[in-house]
């Protein structure tokens, strides 16, 4: 199994950075995992701003050489792990811009003329690890679960990535984060599909 980790936080010395370390540590001790690649969007200086006009058409963006590397990483991966904080009920603009730029038509999906497209990233699975300031149940009760719907229904299912697992961690400024980190390490060490 090839694992791609997409990390989106400006500061590696953060709780998100600690989750990253534990994911990597767990993966390295997991005999079923062949290889791991890390994509740190902030460190890459990834350009999240999708631009198009009459000359640079959106329908040609799947051929844009600037993003070839990111498309290849996705094709290579069997599992994609996203690590990010929740800001305003959803991931940072940087990560959403990654979808805007890399999940292009003819690469990630194909329009069928019907309401839903044909997903071209079928068979790959996703794990989302997110942190937020408030309590874990807050988005469920107050925001109609907007984060999960946004990621699972509007992005991953659309491109055929049907298996999506969430680890949502609340109260990130409280003490006692060690248990959460341990849980992630153990999960990735034993992960078998």
Pick between residue 10 and residue 123 the one whose CB is nearest to a copy of itself: 10
Strand partners, 110: 118
Among 21, 35, 76, 88, which residue interacts with a copy of itself (rule: CB under 8 A)? Answer: 88
Q: How far apart are CA 186 and CA 167, in angstroms?
A: 13
- DSSP state at residue 43: H
Contact criterion met (CB below 8 Å) for 20 and 129:
no
Among 28, 87, 123, 136, which residue interacts with a copy of itself (rule: CB under 8 A)? Answer: 87
- DSSP state at residue 105: B
11 forms part of the interface with a copy of itself (CB under 8 A): yes
Q: How far apart are CA 75 and CA 124, in angstroms?
A: 9
Segment 143 to 172, residues that bind a copy of itself, using CB under 8 A: 143-146, 149-150, 153-155, 158
Pick between residue 76 and residue 88 the one whose CB is nearest to a copy of itself: 88
43 forms part of the interface with a copy of itself (CB under 8 A): no
51 forms part of the interface with a copy of itself (CB under 8 A): yes
Angle 181-184-190 from CA coordinates, rounded to 5°: 140
What would the two tokens of residue 55 be?
């000359």
| Binding residues for a copy of itself (CB under 8 A) | 10-11, 13, 42, 48-54, 87-90, 92-94, 96-97, 99-100, 103, 115-116, 134-135, 138, 142-146, 149-150, 153-155, 158
């Amino acid at each position: 199994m090839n694992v791609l980790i997409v990390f989106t936080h400006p500061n590696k010395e953060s709780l998100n950075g600690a989750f990253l370390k534990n994911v990597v540590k767990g993966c390295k001790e997991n005999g079923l995992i062949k290889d791991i690649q890390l994509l740190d969007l902030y460190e890459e200086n990834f350009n999240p701003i999708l631009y198009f006009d009459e000359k640079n058409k959106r329908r040609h963006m799947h051929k844009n050489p600037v993003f070839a590397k990111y498309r290849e990483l996705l094709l290579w991966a069997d599992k994609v792990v996203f690590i990010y904080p929740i800001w305003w009920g959803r991931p940072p603009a940087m990560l959403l811009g990654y979808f805007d730029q890399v999940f292009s038509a003819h690469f990630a999906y194909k329009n069928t003329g019907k309401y839903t497209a044909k997903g071209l990233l079928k068979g790959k699975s996703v794990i989302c690890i997110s942190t937020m300031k408030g309590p874990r149940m807050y988005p469920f009760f107050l925001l109609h679960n907007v984060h999960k719907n946004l990621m699972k229904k509007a992005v991953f299912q659309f491109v055929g990535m049907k298996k999506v697992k969430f680890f949502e961690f609340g109260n990130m400024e409280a003490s006692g984060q060690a248990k959460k980190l341990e849980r992630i390490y153990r999960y990735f060490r034993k992960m078998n599909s």
